A = this chain, B = another copy of it.
Amino acid sequence: YTPRDCVAGADFIITMLPNGKLVEAVAFGDNGFAGAMKEGSLFIDMSTISPFENGAIRTRIEKAGHSMMECPVGRTSADAVTGTLLLLAGGTQDQIKKAHDLLLCMGNELIDAGGPGMGIRLKIVNNFMSIALNALSAETAVLCESMGLSLNVAIDMMKGTPAIRSHFTTTWQNKVLMGDLTPAFMVDLAHKDLGIALDIGNKLHVPMVMGAACREIYNQASGFGFGRKDWTSILVYLRNMQKGNRNS
């Protein structure tokens, strides 16, 4: 069966493929399904691909007079088996409503990410944060263990601080996200502490490339005048960087 054969008469077409080129090939390649979609059918891509690829594919589908939304998933492969995935829906209200019951066969929680393309963006953002946090946690754990400190003691202690409780839901909520940059903990002190941690790491051969990169962020933020502001102002500094500092 070719992709084209498979979609004959289908109300829903679902793809979940390793990369964007494959999604494109299945839809628009030789015997791709795009030309054979039934009137009123809905194509749901569940792959984790670039939002730019997602957008390009949706544009082509819509130009051909058809409808597409995306719905990448979260959680683990075990959840795929038990149908308890987290569904990150990116589409119009109508599309999400239409796909709702079908999607809930695969997952048990659906998040409306806010429109077409937002589902895949949400997936990318969550995965970036989770994946990078995993490596940062490992740098921290190896720093801890190489100094002879019990990792369990450290984890127990960090349960009470942003180190484990997250900044998004703690420090940021009352400071930078409220527009308050008066210091609870100053950027310059954070910068100093990073220097101490890295000096230890460089004595004990702890691999800390993320920590080393981080020190430079605080270094620059301080140079841009954030030194005596709250550490959560790093968000403002990086926002300014992204904008080419035009609004700073």
Tell me the complex Cα distance, A238–B207, Å.
Answer: 7
Q: How many copies does the complex hold?
A: 4
In the complex, which of the residues B131, B143, B148, B216 contacts A128, with contact meaning CB atoms closer than 8 Å?
Answer: B143
Judging by beta carbons under 8 Å apart, are B231 and A219 in contact?
no
Interface magnitude class on chain A: 35 or more
A208 contacts partner chain B, Cβ-Cβ < 8 Å: yes
8 A Cβ contacts from A174-204 to B:
183-185, 190-197, 199-204
Q: Which 7 A-B pairs have the closest CB atoms?
A: A205-B223, A129-B163, A128-B197, A209-B213, A212-B212, A121-B149, A138-B235
List the interface of chain A (C-beta within 8 A of B): 18-19, 48-52, 74-78, 86, 88, 109, 111, 113-114, 118, 121-122, 124-150, 153-169, 171-172, 183-185, 190-197, 199-220, 222-225, 231-232, 234-235, 237-239, 241-245, 248
